[in-house]
Structure 1
Amino acid sequence: MKTHSAPSTAAKGSDLAETGTNDNTPAIAGVAAALIAAGGGTALAVHRRKTRHTA
């Protein structure tokens, strides 16, 4: 019994996905953290402002 196997795609080299980290990852993470902190601060300020005027 003879089995047929598909040719390996690793032999081509150019069809493989790139792995590893990107050089922009720390910058993107920093910007994301800053936006989350700014949004949280804004939400807190709006909440305090609303409760101060209604009380």
Structure 2
Amino acid sequence: MDSLTSCSIRGFGIPVGLYIVLSYQVSFLITGVVDFAFVLTSDLTDDISLF
């Protein structure tokens, strides 16, 4: 387990860090897109209800 952990840290330390950062950015982007889509759809439904 120790040798496996040290090997994975040496081999995958940078990719894991990048993956964590990318997944955080992607989740932030997804929440932003969802919020934007929600606002957009609410605006569209407001326009539709006006007509």
* Shorter-chain TM band: 0.5 to 0.7
Q: What's the C-alpha RMSD, in Å, of the aligned pairs? A: 1.5
Superposition TM-score, scaled by structure 2 size: 0.60
Pick the structure with more helix per residue.
2
Kindly tell me the number of residue pairs found equivalent between the two proteins.
37
Instruction: Give structure 2 stretches of 5+ with no counterpart.
Output: 1-10
The unaligned stretches of length 5 or more in structure 1 are 1-18
| Runs of 4 or more consecutive aligned structure 1 residues displaced over 2 Å after TM superposition | none
The two structures have a TM-score, normalised by structure 1, of: 0.56
Residue by residue over 1:20-50, the C-alpha shift from the partner in whole angstroms, topping out at 9 and shown as x without a partner, is: 4522111111000011111111111110001
Identical positions, percent: 11
Larger Rg: 1
Structure with higher RCO (Cα < 8 A, 6+ apart):
1
